[in-house]
């Protein structure tokens, strides 16, 4: 007697019907063709959640993966799910590691990932790392393991030296990008640049701006001359104006330039030649460097500034008048990084000259210089630039008020969030009371990332943030008067956020235990002060991330 066929549950029948509908509406080959045009990680995530058929198609079709937290997923899980990856972006330590606020040997080692990739992705072409620990041995392993390797970007990484870079330049024969930014690197000399093969011609991006050692200019000049597709060149401060002029003559096709030292004794004829070279550089969209730039040499740049969308002056000690004159020649600027040497008058010039500006970052030149910024200056710039998506103002002196009125900087940041409705990233500093955070919580509807240090009056500051900011994903807090009440006020929000980092606050172990108990899906990490026996105080650091959410998003990046 034949056995009875098991009757599917309504849920199983609905799932099977969904599979048939997906397959009927989009045949495999058609779906594959569509996915090749879907580049956004967010869109890819959405596609993978439609149904199992689309999940499988997206999994097999994906060639690029972004992992925002190297501990949110294992390399084994990544290679199991995505068998055809060619490009990997991987982030490690929290941003506060830039300020030495993360203990030594915290982790974020790239080597286990490289070992897993070597067997699963022998055709890996691109690797972009941020705040990862990278050793010379790892770089040598990479250079020998991936024969088709083309691009490496190391941003704020540590643990390696220029010998590791030499392995890349020696053995990666198809290299198109070598990008070394703001790393804690052991600079053993500039010989690494001379290891590119003599017949090497494929380089498109070269950035060694943060290296200190002098490189062989003959080797650099020869490399630039051979690489006709070079689009990005950022040199270190040892490259002189005269040498820069020679490089620009060889590479007029450059689209992004990082200059060396922008000050040198030049004859009238040499200066005219420099002006002529910049006059022929019509493709620049980004400019950085300008170490030791002076008002005498800046006019030579003016002809090349017309198309600029990004101007990075974070190492250029320009005064407000110099900045104002330069900005008059940058009508299309979208991003601007400056030092606080430009003062409030410089910000007013930004407001009047840069109506298209979307990002402004103001970095401290000298933490001991107290007279830096005013509420009025910030209000002026945002009134004239309402399309900001990123605003970062670093006032290094804790509790620094408006230096003209001695009032808190509440109104400055209140103006930012009330006026700039597209704002997604914000860093605040200076003397701020809970009123500032009430404004941020109320008006910053699109804010995704917020960083704060030495600000706030009480727990209510953080409570205002947790009650507002509906799109907040990352929150970094350093040395603020926030305790357990503040921490627990965001309990229902943390699962929808990528991470929370608190350092030097007043959170206790009891508060962390309660959070971990009531929200078991969260990963709550507590790092105490070395040799501390205080069981009540939780910090030095508290880091919270929604491990399930992160794992979900990272395994379907």
| CATH number for the domain harbouring residue 508 | 3.30.1370
At 528 the pLDDT is 66
Report yes or no on 235 lying in a domain. no
The pLDDT of residue 402 is above 50:
yes
At 557 the pLDDT is 37
Final residue before a domain boundary, out of 13, 45, 62? 62
Report yes or no on 47 lying in a domain. yes
Report yes or no on 455 lying in a domain. yes
Report yes or no on 410 lying in a domain. yes
Q: Tokens 């250029």 appear where? A: 316
Same domain, 378 and 490: no
Same domain, 438 and 522: no
d(CA 400, CA 386): 25
Same domain, 456 and 396: yes
The pLDDT of residue 18 is above 70:
no
What's the token pair of residue 17? Answer: 């019907």
Extract the runs of DSSP E, i.e. beta strands, from 268-315.
286-288, 310-312
Q: What's 391's domain CATH number?
A: 3.80.10.10
Number of domains into which the chain is organized: 3
Same domain, 437 and 496: no
User: Of 58-67, 186-195, 207-216, 237-246, where does mean pLDDT reach its minimum?
Assistant: 58-67
Integer angstrom CA distances of residue 60 from 31, 67, 232: 11, 18, 33
Share of the chain above pLDDT 70, in %: 88
Question: What would the mean pLDDT of 41-68 be, rounded to a whole number?
Answer: 84
Same domain, 316 and 460: yes
Q: Tokens 């330039």 appear where? A: 257
Same domain, 445 and 335: yes
- SS3 of 361-395: the string is EEECCCCCCCCCCCHHHHHHHHHHCCCCCEEEECC
The pLDDT of residue 80 is above 70:
yes
DSSP 8-state class, residue 301? G
Same domain, 387 and 347: yes
Same domain, 507 and 428: no
Higher local confidence (pLDDT), 129 or 506: 129
Same domain, 491 and 369: no
At 548 the pLDDT is 26
What residue numbers bound the domain in which 518 lies?
A: 483-529+538-549
d(CA 168, CA 151): 10
Higher local confidence (pLDDT), 447 or 93: 447
Same domain, 396 and 451: yes
Same domain, 356 and 412: yes
Report yes or no on 302 lying in a domain. no
Final residue before a domain boundary, out of 62, 89, 113? 62
Q: What are phi and psi of 130, to 5 degrees?
A: -135, 125
H helices of 36-125, where?
Answer: 41-48, 52-61, 75-81, 111-120
* pLDDT confidence tier of residue 407, bands split at 50, 70 and 90: very high
* pLDDT confidence tier of residue 23, bands split at 50, 70 and 90: low
Same domain, 371 and 514: no
Final residue before a domain boundary, out of 9, 39, 62? 62
Q: What's 31's domain CATH number?
A: 1.20.1280.50
Report yes or no on 81 lying in a domain. no
Report yes or no on 77 lying in a domain. no
Report yes or no on 149 lying in a domain. no
Q: Tokens 């098991």 appear where? A: 6
Question: What would the mean pLDDT of 94-107 be, rounded to a whole number?
Answer: 76
């Amino acid at each position: 007697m034949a056995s009875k066929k098991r009757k599917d549950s309504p849920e199983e029948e609905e799932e099977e019907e969904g599979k048939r509908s997906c397959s009927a509406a989009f045949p495999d080959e058609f779906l594959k063709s569509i996915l090749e045009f879907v580049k956004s990680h967010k869109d890819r995530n959405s596609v993978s959640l439609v149904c199992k058929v689309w999940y499988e198609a997206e999994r097999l079709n994906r060639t690029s993966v972004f992992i925002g937290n190297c501990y949110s997923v294992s390399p084994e899980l990544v290679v199991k799910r995505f068998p055809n990856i060619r490009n990997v972006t991987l982030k490690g330590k929290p941003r506060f590691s830039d300020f030495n606020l993360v203990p030594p040997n915290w982790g974020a080692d790239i080597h286990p990932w490289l070992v897993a990739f070597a067997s699963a992705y022998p055709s890996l072409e691109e690797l972009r790392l941020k705040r990862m620990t990278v050793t010379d041995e790892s770089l040598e392993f990479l250079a020998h393991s991936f024969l088709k390797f083309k691009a490496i970007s190391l941003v704020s990484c540590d643990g390696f030296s220029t010998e590791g870079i030499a392995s890349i330049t020696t053995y990666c024969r198809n290299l198109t990008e070598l990008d070394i930014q703001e790393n804690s690197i052991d600079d053993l000399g500039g010989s690494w640049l001379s290891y590119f093969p003599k017949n090497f011609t494929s380089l498109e991006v070269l950035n060694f701006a943060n290296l200190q050692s002098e490189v062989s200019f003959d080797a650099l000049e020869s490399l630039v001359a051979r690489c006709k597709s070079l689009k990005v060149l950022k040199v270190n401060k040892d490259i002189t104006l005269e040498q820069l002029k020679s490089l620009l003559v060889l590479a007029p096709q450059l689209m992004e330039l990082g200059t060396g030292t922008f000050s040198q004794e030049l004859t009238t004829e040499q200066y005219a030649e420099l002006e002529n070279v910049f006059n022929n550089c019509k493709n620049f969209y980004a400019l950085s460097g300008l170490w030791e730039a002076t008002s005498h040499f800046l006019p030579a740049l003016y002809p090349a500034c017309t198309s600029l969308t990004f101007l990075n002056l974070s190492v250029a000690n320009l005064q407000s008048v110099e900045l104002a004159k330069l900005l008059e020649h940058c009508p299309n600027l979208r991003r601007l990084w400056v030092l606080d040497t430009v003062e409030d008058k410089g910000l007013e010039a930004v407001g009047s000259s840069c109506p298209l500006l979307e990002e402004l970052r103001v970095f401290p030149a000298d933490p001991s210089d107290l007279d830096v910024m005013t509420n009025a200056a910030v209000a002026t710039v945002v009134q004239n630039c309402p399309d900001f998506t990123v605003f970062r103002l670093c006032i290094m002196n804790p509790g620094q008020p408006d230096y003209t009125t001695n009032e808190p900087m509440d109104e400055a940041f209140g103006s930012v969030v009330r006026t700039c409705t597209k704002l997604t990233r914000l860093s605040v500093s200076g003397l701020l009371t809970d009123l500032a955070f009430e404004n941020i919580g109320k008006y910053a509807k699109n804010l995704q990332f917020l960083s704060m240090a030495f600000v706030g009056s009480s727990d209510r500051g953080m409570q205002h943030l947790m009650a507002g900011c509906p799109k907040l994903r990352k929150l970094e807090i350093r040395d603020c008067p926030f305790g357990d009440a503040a921490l627990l006020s965001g309990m229902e929000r943390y699962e929808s956020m990528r991470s929370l980092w608190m350092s030097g606050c007043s959170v206790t172990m009891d508060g962390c235990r309660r959070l971990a108990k009531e929200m078991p899906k969260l990963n709550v990490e507590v790092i105490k002060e070395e040799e501390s026996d205080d069981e009540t105080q939780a910090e030095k650091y508290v880091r919270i991330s929604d491990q399930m959410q992160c794992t979900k998003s990272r395994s379907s990046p």
